[in-house]
Amino acid sequence: MSPDGGIGAAQIEWQMQKQLLAMQQPSSASTNPANMSASNDAVKLVKKSEDASGPHLTAYRDSGGKPTIGYGHTGQVNGKPIIPGKTTITPAQADQLLPGDLATAEAAVRNNVHVPITQGQFDALTDFTFNLGAGKLEGSTLLTKLNAKDYAGAQAEFSRWVYGKEKDPKTGKEVEVKLPGLVTRRAAEAALFGNQGPQAAASAVKAAGQ
């Protein structure tokens, strides 16, 4: 307790660490990615990362130049291609489009991860894949390290995926730059992922509760 009878800063930080460890521990259902699905934590992370103020209701081009709308949706809308600046949707439509896009990312994680993982790790990988695409996950050193059970090494890889293309105002040419939004997103994914496999994460949670 702090001198005034409240909870001290160190105690608050410790409680937050315990909560994060709990998110990283395996669920009672499964640690086999083939049997896992994204939790609400993944949905929240996707929504916050795509647009903290809400979905884009008018189409735009993302940092990679793809026509995008809603929460990172790049497919068709009402059977028609997305046209930046012209295609529009409602907030309800944005929520309706998200599960289908999320399912594609989930499937990629299930198909490519072959070692036990925690729910937090599945959620982090789902957001990573949702943002970058299945091809980036499949060809990544992150996946290679994870499938070798190098959980800490895999966590460290998230910070490499923070670059996107922007036009140089002087030359008008596209250049690769570090994007603050991606830095924040990768940090959130890495924190959710943790640096331990399911067994070690469960042991850490158990120890933290003692």
Catalytic positions = 50, 62
The 8-class DSSP code of residue 35 comes to G
CB 150 within 8 Å of CB 194:
no
CB 25 within 8 Å of CB 19:
no
41-75 burial: b if 16+ Cβ within 10 Å, else e = bbbebbbebbeeeebbeebeebeeeebbbbbbbee
